[in-house]
Amino acid sequence: MRDFDRGLNARGVRGAKLIGEHIRQHGVRWDLLIASPAARVQRTLEAALPALSPHYDKRLYLADADTLLEVLRGAGDADSVLIAGHNPGLQDLLFALVPPSEENDLFDEASIKFPTASFAVLELAIDDWSNLAKETGKLVHFARPRDLDPTLGPELA
């Protein structure tokens, strides 16, 4: 099976559902959801946020931070955007957007491990997506499935 076509295992579906409930409870809303069309991203979104209608963008499949920045710069008049993609690109995007002066405990946790179905909320010091640049963000929320249910953490040998 091609990597692009790989889905989620039962543990991944469980983690996605749990993080979806967390997102709903957290109350974050967005105007636009841009997602990789890879099967595992589609299955994650179906399990976590089934009511949403993603805009699938093939550029997000295994995208690096620079590509993710380019995609976000095209977000138009959306006030807030959710982007669903892959690592290491998403973690590298976080590293690119958060300047050293804004690093905090949440950033430290995201630096340690940013696994599948992680949810990060950044506030950006921009007025228009076209102005998105490196070091314009602050991480204000971060959650991983294992933070919500320790049995979803790494398996010990």
Q: Tell me, what's the pLDDT at 28?
A: 84
The answer to whether 35 and 41 are in contact (CB under 8 A) is yes
The pLDDT value given to residue 157: 47
Q: Is position 59 within any domain? A: yes
pLDDT at 68 over 90: yes
Q: Give the lowest-confidence range in 21-30, 99-108, 117-126.
A: 21-30
Specify the pTM: 0.92
| CATH label of the domain that carries residue 40 | 3.40.50.1240
Q: What percent of the chain clears pLDDT 90, i.e. is strictly above it?
A: 90
Going across the sheet that includes 81-84, the strands are 55-56, 32-35, 81-84
Mean pLDDT (whole number) for 100-113 = 96
Task: Look over the chain and give the mean of its residue pLDDT values, rounded to a whole number.
Answer: 94
- Measure the CA–CA gap between 144 and 90, rounded to whole angstroms: 14
Is 157 a domain residue?
no
State how far the Cα of 69 lies from the Cα of 96, in Å rounded to an integer: 9
Domain count, the chain: 1
156 falls within a domain: no
Question: Where is 154: in which H helix or E strand?
Answer: none
Task: State the pLDDT at residue 155.
Answer: 65
Question: What is the residue range of 69's domain?
Answer: 3-151
Report phi then psi at 128, rounded to 5.
-150, 140
